[in-house]
Structure 1
């Protein structure tokens, strides 16, 4: 009897294994189909079983912050005086190359042991659009970063060699394709029309074609909920749009988007609406190809297959002691009756998280998932809790797939295909691109944010997936307020979700603000010449002159004023004004070279109409220069300091 049971169990196991292998049978790799994943969101739910995603980057393996600055960790070995950046074993495909520091030195790709490279071009032309097929929109640059999403397949191997003496930051993400019949990259076999498809799709968010539309107009009352869509038959959501005008904007994120599939015990999506659609600090900020806001409409065109039933609703959380107005909501749900292929497709989920001052020494978690699926992107708001430079955005991303660290990045903005925060025309403002972008950037508010969608570069997992990011350059010590939504597909719902409490639904407003020379917004009056380096260096060309600093980013209130300036032998006199009202008397900056750090200079009340500070400078005998560094404002009655 025992023997017969063993035979039966073995037979059942063999049948189950055979069914699984048939469902994921590797086949011929198709380059055109690979690149079409960038323009075919309908392919997003499909599993990629057995395809291991990894990354080679210039990160500092010691745990320090030398993620490319010295170039020490930016190559794996030297050959004939050149730097080998990667030596990949096939079959596989490179899905993404990123750097904030391309050069004119040659980068070469050697395939399958060949001694002549099939790709050889200046590193910067991998992103310039000058060399086919490395053209827009799959290759390009913005917000300080250069990116290449052109798939580069290889059959047996791919070695990447850099001819320069030094290379700085880079990330090379690739996917192993065991068992697949892969033909190595060949420019003669690249159909140009597939690049045109991507270009067309990425121009504007695409409303799903051939879909049924379920529309509604209703009013959402505080403390109530409304159902936007409900189905009790198999199918899929192809996209949805929710229009509330400007009513979703503001510092209170009290409207919750709640979505549930089938008989899942927990919601597939349970997140403040603002955060799911990529708002930043109360305002719309993301307009990606799949999810975001445009012209007042919040949209999501990420396909969501389900097995039996679906429900989409909005919940309006009540806030204590605050009058909340009813919201007029209109929506469109695009859907079809196409059933989910259970063996080949996952269901869509989104995990929301916010941590105010997370524990030191621990990564901030975007996602900690169990099951089989793939990660397709995230949105991330990053707020510093101490005034100053946005050093918290030095933190590296780290991804474990099925218990093994597969990806380790080189800095937060690098994960979002950007680079060089606080540098003019780099990562210095909000910028929304088709699959990545910067949500915001403000030095005085000590905040930023980013998003990235993973299409061809989606990250598959068989059992578990963890994605965390550092807060601070090293050891996760910088006090921050991080908010995120992670988008992914999986064969099961999350075991729980985080409840957006009233505190977690409220946008944090700092009460200390630092204005640095870089990115300082100022105007000059006649009589003053200005240059910038570590200081704002001014020289009076007539008897006196003025420099006005714009403070419009700062919330209304009464502030104490502090200035860091340099005393020197040629130091002029200066005084502060708010519009036509003097704040201080004349003060001399003449001295022996001392730095007057954070010198208190009075106070002012800021309103949207009076949000500026003017420094008037006059000659003091033959002395006519005034050099200042940081302007600091501290709100009266500020909160308790959060120290590092």
Structure 2
């Protein structure tokens, strides 16, 4: 064994404290915390102001996906023709009928649009159809352009790297231009609308207390453009201190760097022979969370046979022995990174260098700790309906990235037909339901233009001979799912969920410890179709209504069926109250309804307090809903922030002013639920609060050697 000198600035000159670890070879660093204050909190999608914002598990927003997946079971989510299920509705526009693709009430923001069209292969979207964006209450579109020009780079701000057409994204068309809206955004299609069209609209649904200015086409997006154009260059501003350790690792040996204090690791670099990368693994540990262990190849997005990879926002290009990742790694008390040899006994030692760059700075409470995990899953026809697991989280979390390797014993890439499905906080139906695997990664038609790479997505390699295989990545700094309590991401095995295939996913997410003493809980609910429960919750309405039993399924697989009494009524108000026992400021209303009719919109007023004039009030809206006659149970959530008054804070009064926009004029209510963070003492021992007292520390740097037993 041998070790070369460790390149670490001296403690006297740099303010570094160097630690000694109980493990095999180690070095460590600590930079004194900066006293500089933080700027005002950006909106949840404005990560380009400060990359640390990627780590914020933001309680102001929820991420959802409006997509063209088939509700009627069509095999390839194929649409078009007279009865076009892509459209939420067809409305009269200033120049004739327009098909509504997207309709959401604000405050919110549209942060990613993806589309493709074609028959077997992708084609240009063309100019026959026009896409229109109506903001707030405008009768005229603020943006009106041929569909193709939303992606082809001819119309600022929809120019690279903020927009890519099918040639730049291998069959897909992508817009990353953020489009916020204060009150409402409606996106429509005018003209030639019979062509097949697949689409995804990723959007934020903000709490009503969050102020947003609606989209300005002249908004300054230079910083975002520069960041996405970096092509794998270091995305962080100058600064920070590097620490490095190097050694030759025999099988089972490891080297380690660690830091104490508050700060952010902004770069992780590993230098090792490319042909030996498969024999190395990483451990990442922040504060007192357990360590995450992952293969070096998975962390850096490299298939087993790959020796190179283009760069992206969070990866430097991999074209030699050096691998660098730029993901922010915040910590409040300690950070620890280990590289370990997984080589078999008797194999040659591996020369390895591990380097970290760290900046001392305050870490706000909502910033989560980086987590990473790899799942390897296999599907088979007899497991019909079970998704392949991408990852699962059981704390408040924000999903930011995924690298996938998929394969099947096929000569074609049918495994790419599967849709991604994401559920958060106990949802019965996915709040994000995609249209195909390659669509999720930005491409189209099995990536018919070959490998591509961009700052936020790419397809790295695809093989056609049995077994067929594809490797892909996607970063989601502006449009990854955020969960208050739990997050489940899965992939449908093929077009109908019954394809035998193999999947390997490495997922990155940030996990918050800010709510470790709280539990996300359903604290009250009632079934609106039950007269006794209505009476117990003070449900009243001046309207005529009807009650009926409905047995139906929720969207998603495997199908979940439930029988609930439904109350149906027309436009106008109803009111009821729920109990918010032990709740803090953040409340969530969840409504279960019959989705047979589209357009079940409503204005909702939420008051916290026992009297009509007491307490805080929030006003929000239930957006225009999509019809689903196949899976009729649907849920929609509303988040509000209401501090409890001095008296009567356990009472939440709700008024629902239904404004249905369907032909029948129907609005349905089956169940109302109230969710919140309820305080608990489950984590009172302080372990999850960042206790690192068990980590030994002395001044100086050591690089000890020890043989594996």
User: Shorter-chain-normalised TM-score: which range?
Assistant: 0.5 to 0.7
Q: 1:422 to 1:450 in 2, by over 3 A?
A: closer
Whether contact under 8 Å (1:357, 1:479) holds in the other structure is: yes
Deviations 1:512-561 (A, max 9, x none): xxxxxxxxxxxxxxxxxxxxxxxxxxxxxxxxxxxxxxxxxxxxxxxxxx
Whether contact under 8 Å (1:59, 1:73) holds in the other structure is: no
Q: 1:367 to 1:313 in 2, by over 3 A?
A: same
Q: 1:135 to 1:203 in 2, by over 3 A?
A: farther
1:231 to partner: Cα distance: 2.1
The within-5 A match list for 1:85-234 is: 85-101=101-117, 102-104=125-127, 105-141=129-165, 142-163=169-190, 164-166=192-194, 167-178=196-207, 179-188=209-218, 190-191=219-220, 193-199=222-228, 201-202=230-231, 204-206=233-235, 209-227=238-256, 229-234=257-262
The within-5 A match list for 1:533-552 is: none
2:413 pairs, out of 380, 390, 394, with 390
The number of equivalent residue pairs is 450
Whether contact under 8 Å (1:274, 1:282) holds in the other structure is: no
Higher relative contact order (CA 8 A, sep 6+): 2
The within-5 A match list for 1:212-611 is: 212-227=241-256, 229-249=257-277, 253-264=278-289, 266-267=290-291, 269-283=292-306, 284-285=308-309, 287-291=311-315, 293-296=317-320, 297-319=322-344, 324-341=347-364, 343-357=365-379, 359-384=383-408, 386-404=409-427, 405-421=430-446, 423=448, 426=449, 428=450, 430-444=451-465, 445-475=467-497, 477-491=498-512
Q: 1:325 to 1:355 in 2, by over 3 A?
A: farther
Deviations 1:117-139 (A, max 9, x none): 00000111111111111121111
Whether contact under 8 Å (1:45, 1:489) holds in the other structure is: yes
Q: 1:28 to 1:318 in 2, by over 3 A?
A: closer
Deviations 1:369-425 (A, max 9, x none): 1111211010000011x23211011000001121222110000000001111163xx
Q: Which is greater in Rg?
A: 1
The 2-side partners of 1:203 and 1:381 are apart by 21
Whether contact under 8 Å (1:44, 1:455) holds in the other structure is: yes
Whether contact under 8 Å (2:438, 2:447) holds in the other structure is: no
CA RMSD of aligned residues (A): 2.5
1:200 to partner: Cα distance: 5.0
The 1-side partners of 2:158 and 2:280 are apart by 43
Report the equivalent of 1:504.
Answer: none
1:280 to partner: Cα distance: 1.8
Whether contact under 8 Å (1:67, 1:73) holds in the other structure is: no
Report the 3-state secondary structure (helix = DSSP H, G, I; strand = E; otherwise coil) of the residue aligned with 1:472. coil
The 2-side partners of 1:234 and 1:38 are apart by 22
The 2-side partners of 1:199 and 1:360 are apart by 39
Whether contact under 8 Å (2:228, 2:313) holds in the other structure is: no
Q: 1:360 to 1:439 in 2, by over 3 A?
A: farther
Report the equivalent of 2:87.
Answer: 75
Which stretches in structure 1 are left out of the alignment for 5+ residues? 1-26, 496-644
Whether contact under 8 Å (2:459, 2:473) holds in the other structure is: yes
Report the 3-state secondary structure (helix = DSSP H, G, I; strand = E; otherwise coil) of the residue aligned with 2:61. coil
Whether contact under 8 Å (1:394, 1:412) holds in the other structure is: yes
Whether contact under 8 Å (2:151, 2:175) holds in the other structure is: yes
1:236 to partner: Cα distance: 2.2
The 2-side partners of 1:256 and 1:360 are apart by 34
Q: 1:132 to 1:492 in 2, by over 3 A?
A: same
Which stretches in structure 2 are left out of the alignment for 5+ residues? 1-38, 118-124, 517-709
The 2-side partners of 1:129 and 1:34 are apart by 26
The 1-side partners of 2:281 and 2:507 are apart by 16
The 2-side partners of 1:248 and 1:436 are apart by 26
1:438 to partner: Cα distance: 0.3
The 1-side partners of 2:240 and 2:447 are apart by 44
Report the equivalent of 2:62.
Answer: 52
Report the 3-state secondary structure (helix = DSSP H, G, I; strand = E; otherwise coil) of the residue aligned with 2:375. strand
Whether contact under 8 Å (1:84, 1:161) holds in the other structure is: yes
Q: 1:28 to 1:123 in 2, by over 3 A?
A: farther
Query: If the length of structure 1 is used for normalisation, what is the TM-score?
Result: 0.66
The 1-side partners of 2:41 and 2:140 are apart by 24
Whether contact under 8 Å (1:38, 1:455) holds in the other structure is: no
